[in-house]
Structure 1
Amino acid sequence: MGECTLPAPARLEYEPRALPPKFPHEISVVIPCLDESATIGELVERLASSLHSITAGFEIIVVDDGSRDATPRILSSMAADRPWLKVIRFRRSFGQTAALMAGFRAARGSILVAIDADLQNDPADIDNLLAKLGEGYDVVSGWRVQRNDQSIRRVLLSRVANRLISFATGVRLHDFGCTLKAYRREILEGVNLYGEMHRFIPAYASYNGARIAELPVRHRPRRAGSSHYGLNRVAKVILDLLVVVFLHRYAQKPIYVFGACGFASLLVSGLAAGAMVYFKFWGGKSFIETPLPWVWSTMFFIGVLCFLLGLIAEVVMRIYHEGRDHGTYRIATTFNFDAPKEKLRLQSKN
């Protein structure tokens, strides 16, 4: 999908109200949508009703992930007389992660909220998420304490996956799969998601220094349509988790992981060589009578290749970071710095 560079926040359209808002920031609500014609209209109206009472300005961005039902027609009709409703339609289905990223890129609010289109999330819970966000948190994640999914197997697998993700990433959440989340815009700067990694947004935010809170939210039974999730997602979650953990721990120094594999391979190669010599002179077996020469040579070349791959990965990562013209750090705020007359390039030396 390329890199996600979020544009600067801008004032959003909203209908004037006599009462002051509870939440003074502009909010962008992003809804990934696929074949949800039975619920999308009601969801948009309920969201608008809730947001009008709590925020100074808002926009609702629906990303149609290549729907084949009446969803595009419904959205087109609704957007005609609702300037705060923005619609993005994909040419085909690219998945929920791509839909969320497209919505975040297009969003102009300083607060970003994601919610599913099937009405299983309650739009009224957004008020509570924003209130928690106002306590100083950067991310507030919904927690479906009482899930109303029809498949018990899906609920059990979800619990196992949540515990695995919490253990591997160090981010202690009960429900990574809940789409209903609120984010401060700046915490998602530089976050790029691929494949099906939307469930790991809290982990990426945590790696950027975000303060994360979790809040119980309501979860309604699905009223129409069918879930787009299956058991094949379990393997994808595990593979994606490996990528997330690897990038977090070794993206800046990939030689560490490749070098460790190289040392382990050379150690096995050395042990095989020692055993080979032992059997030759004291065990009464020639080199060709055991598989040890094959083990020695294979592990030796694997070790060498690991070191070379690590060096190549180091060069690639340095080109990546230097090409983006910023260091391998994130600045929260600064004080008493005058605007420079010319742009200076700062580099982080590892």
Structure 2
Amino acid sequence: MNSSLLSGDAKERGIQERVVLPHSLLDISAVVPLYNEVESLPVLVETIARILQENQLSYEIICVDDGSRDGSTELLRQMAQQRTDLKAVLLRRNYGQTAAMAAGFHQARGKVIITLDADLQNDPADIPNLLAKLSEGYDLVSGWRKQRQDAMVTRLVPSKIANWLIAKVTGVQIHDYGCSLKAYRAELVTDMNLYGELHRFLPALAFIEGARIAEIPVRHHARQFGKSKYGLGRTFRVVMDLFTIYFMKRFLTRPMHVFGWFGLLSMLLGIAIGLYLTFVKFALGEAIGDRPLLFLAVVLFLTGVQLFSFGLLAELLMRTYHESQKRPIYRIREVVGSSAAPGSGVQSSV
């Protein structure tokens, strides 16, 4: 594995086993969220370490324990005390995979972040392939479990439906959103704030940030220990988060365009019905007080005013969100030329 895709030449530095180098020299941060995986944890850590050492990459392994109750916490604490390449992040309780992954991202020091599950179904041997694809100029490389070793009814069928729906809504055409085995450039995840079940939408979030995304096939093994922690119960949460992603993709910096449009349409319909009823009342002399159309006109007009007000409030909140964090509404991929400073009149390559 050629580590030239990362700044710094790990091969020339001579990586020693289980030695973590300073922040500026680390190539890889392997982030592993886990919950009740005491049997697979030792095998997983040893395998990740062996693969990264064989490819002469400096690394750290960050295992985030999401409130395990099977002894994983104690084992992880013991392993972290014995190994210098392992960092144990122990959460106070079970927050969910998204929170565990976010905690791992915040602790990571590598130039590239690799994520994978702790159940040994993802194969660490695929990491070099992810890095090789990343070196082609991509910001995120996602694994595709073409030959999944999971239950058909509870995992495979819902997953295929979800992947199709997510791809349609987000516009990011990858086959396997649920695969945890991914490689990210560190600067990509720095600006990502994860909530709910958003970890499975990371490619879509990265796309919003302007990332270049690729997907490669990876191996997938049958579960060796324990049982899956996820089932059909998470479907509703995923659908709700999908609406969030769609809104962020389309209207994050212009919420008035959605609230204002519906509000304006509602007000215009209410006014049109009101004008019709006014004509009926004064031109035709008919009573309108007991007509359902009168109530509909009032409801439509008031609803439109409320939606328009929501749009204004959302615009103010959006501005507060960006300005309070000094967060720009754009992402620059590259500036070419040292003299290409703002206002200098020199064109830059973006």
Q: After superposition, what is the alpha-carbon deviation per residue over 1:174-200, rounded to whole angstroms, capped at 9, x for unaligned?
A: 000000000111122311110110011
**1:186 aligned onto 2:184:** no
Task: Indicate the SS of the match to 1:152.
Answer: helix
Which amino acid counterpart does residue 100 of structure 1 have in structure 2?
Answer: M
Which amino acid counterpart does residue 240 of structure 2 have in structure 1?
Answer: L
Q: How many residues align?
A: 326
| TM-score, normalization by structure 1 | 0.87
- In the other structure, the counterpart of 2:227 is 226
- In the other structure, the counterpart of 1:156 is 157
- In the other structure, the counterpart of 1:26 is 27
Which amino acid counterpart does residue 16 of structure 2 have in structure 1?
Answer: P
Partners of 2:63 and 2:234 in 1: how far apart?
24
- In the other structure, the counterpart of 2:167 is 166
Q: Report how far residue 334 of structure 1 moved.
A: 2.2
Q: Is the 8 A contact 1:28 1:60 kept in 2?
A: yes
Q: How does 1:141-290 map to 2 (within 5 A)?
A: 141-277=142-278, 279-280=280-281, 286-290=287-291
Q: Report how far residue 307 of structure 1 moved.
A: 1.4
Out of 211-220 and 313-322, give the one that drifted further: 313-322
Which amino acid counterpart does residue 86 of structure 1 have in structure 2?
Answer: K
CA RMSD of aligned residues (A): 2.4
Partners of 2:132 and 2:307 in 1: how far apart?
50
Q: How does 1:81-92 map to 2 (within 5 A)?
A: 81-92=82-93
Partners of 2:195 and 2:164 in 1: how far apart?
22
- In the other structure, the counterpart of 2:80 is 79
- In the other structure, the counterpart of 1:123 is 124
| TM-score, normalization by structure 2 | 0.87
Distance change >3 Å, CA 323–CA 10, structure 1 → 2? farther
Which amino acid counterpart does residue 208 of structure 2 have in structure 1?
Answer: Y
Out of 100-109 and 271-280, give the one that drifted further: 271-280
- In the other structure, the counterpart of 1:57 is 58
Which amino acid counterpart does residue 132 of structure 1 have in structure 2?
Answer: K
Distance change >3 Å, CA 107–CA 41, structure 1 → 2? same
Partners of 2:54 and 2:154 in 1: how far apart?
39
Alignment gaps of 5+ in structure 1: 1-8, 18-23, 341-350
Distance change >3 Å, CA 232–CA 185, structure 1 → 2? same
Partners of 2:75 and 2:26 in 1: how far apart?
29
Task: Indicate the SS of the match to 2:88.
Answer: strand
**1:112 aligned onto 2:113:** yes
Alignment gaps of 5+ in structure 2: 1-6, 18-24, 342-350
Partners of 1:164 and 1:283 in 2: how far apart?
52
Q: Report how far residue 166 of structure 1 moved.
A: 0.6
- In the other structure, the counterpart of 1:4 is none
Partners of 1:241 and 1:257 in 2: how far apart?
17
- In the other structure, the counterpart of 1:327 is 328
Which amino acid counterpart does residue 268 of structure 1 have in structure 2?
Answer: L
**1:16 aligned onto 2:16:** yes
Q: Report how far residue 229 of structure 1 moved.
A: 1.3
Partners of 1:215 and 1:80 in 2: how far apart?
35
Q: Is the 8 A contact 1:14 1:56 kept in 2?
A: no
- In the other structure, the counterpart of 2:22 is none
Q: After superposition, what is the alpha-carbon deviation per residue over 1:42-89, rounded to whole angstroms, capped at 9, x for unaligned?
A: 111111111111143000000000001110121122112210100000
Q: Is the 8 A contact 2:41 2:118 kept in 1?
A: yes
| Percent identity over paired residues | 46
Q: Is the 8 A contact 2:154 2:232 kept in 1?
A: no
Which amino acid counterpart does residue 217 of structure 2 have in structure 1?
Answer: P
Distance change >3 Å, CA 285–CA 41, structure 1 → 2? farther
Which amino acid counterpart does residue 155 of structure 2 have in structure 1?
Answer: R
Task: Indicate the SS of the match to 1:87.
Answer: strand
Task: Indicate the SS of the match to 2:47.
Answer: helix
**Structure with the larger helix share:** 2
Q: After superposition, what is the alpha-carbon deviation per residue over 1:4-24, rounded to whole angstroms, capped at 9, x for unaligned?
A: xxxxx999999527xxxxxx9
